[in-house]
Amino acid sequence: MRASGTPWSVTPGPTPSGPARPVLPRSATPTLSCRPTSPTPHRRVPPLESDRARAPSPAAVTLEAIRRDLDEGPVRDLDVCQRWLCHPDRLPEELVQALLREERRTRNRTGLTLTLCISYGGRDEITRTAAALAQAAHAGDIDPRLIGEDDSARHLPHPDTPDVDLLWRTGNEQRTSNFLPWYTTYAELYFTPNYWPDVDRRDLWQAMTEYSRRQRRHGGATQ
């Protein structure tokens, strides 16, 4: 999926065009968009935000392109597990069924996890998490006085989604635009002027190299 000027999180991994990749420190090699200890790299691509999904014409064209990519796109036959973050009730039923079908078809693949953020909003995700916590407290399943970060994480719409290590924003914009606020709290931010359709492997390797220079502290003090 392509989205000009939108943020996305990325993980290095083998590509169908060849094995070449930059030499990076061991700490930077396993992942740029998931936990460093995770065995499976993750990428998240945000082709459409929730507020734009309600717009009639351009959104309809984009959604149709997404559906075609699911059926005929270059990722279809690769070792890629496809997942999605979205509000299904805001999407056409045909697209929802296509997303579910691909999720089931690719769930045992281990090479890469690609999460599509379609009709997605970060604030909406946190609001739904708060609602789930309130419901659990009302049902007596959780003590509201003892709610912690782990409880919030378990009540996210997709609790098994790993944290982002690198958030890459193209299009010469320097903001995160309501994209994955829970998961990007300690992410490294990387901004580039080129637009997403113009990005190629060289840009990816440059992003990886830049990430390898960063000192990852996750909120801790400088050593």
pLDDT, tens digit, 9 for 90 and up, residues 169-216: 999 999 999 999 999 999 999 999 999 889 999 999 999 999 999 988
Predicted confidence band of residue 103 (pLDDT cuts 50, 70, 90)? very high
- Residue 12 has, within 13 A of its CA and on its CB side, a CA count of 27
Q: How high is the pLDDT of residue 197?
A: 86
Encode pLDDT of 111-166 as tens digits: 999 998 888 899 999 999 999 999 999 999 999 999 999 999 999 988 988 999 99
| SS3 (DSSP) at 83 | strand
3-state class (DSSP) for residue 23: coil
Where are the chain's structural domains?
7-15+28-212
pLDDT digits (tens, 9 = 90+) for 51-81: 555 545 577 777 788 878 887 878 888 999 9
Question: Nearest CA to 157 among 87, 52, 82, 66?
Answer: 87
Residue with tokens 């190299």: 209
For residue 49, pLDDT over 90 is answered with no
Distance separating alpha carbons of residues 88 and 198, to the nearest angstrom: 30
For the chain, what's the residue count? 223
Q: Which range (27-36, 102-111, 197-206) has the least confidence?
A: 27-36
Per-residue model confidence (pLDDT) at position 55: 47
Output the pLDDT for position 148. 95
Nearest to 82 by CA among 113, 42, 108, 110: 113
Which residues, in sequence order, are CB contacts of 2 under 8 Å at separation 6+? 47, 196, 197
Q: How many CA atoms lie within 13 A of 168 on its CB side?
A: 28
Per residue in 12-26, pLDDT (tens digit) is 333 333 333 333 333
DSSP state of 81: E
Residue 106 has pLDDT above 60, yes or no: yes
What topology is assigned to 7-15+28-212 in CATH?
Undecaprenyl pyrophosphate synthetase (3.40.1180)
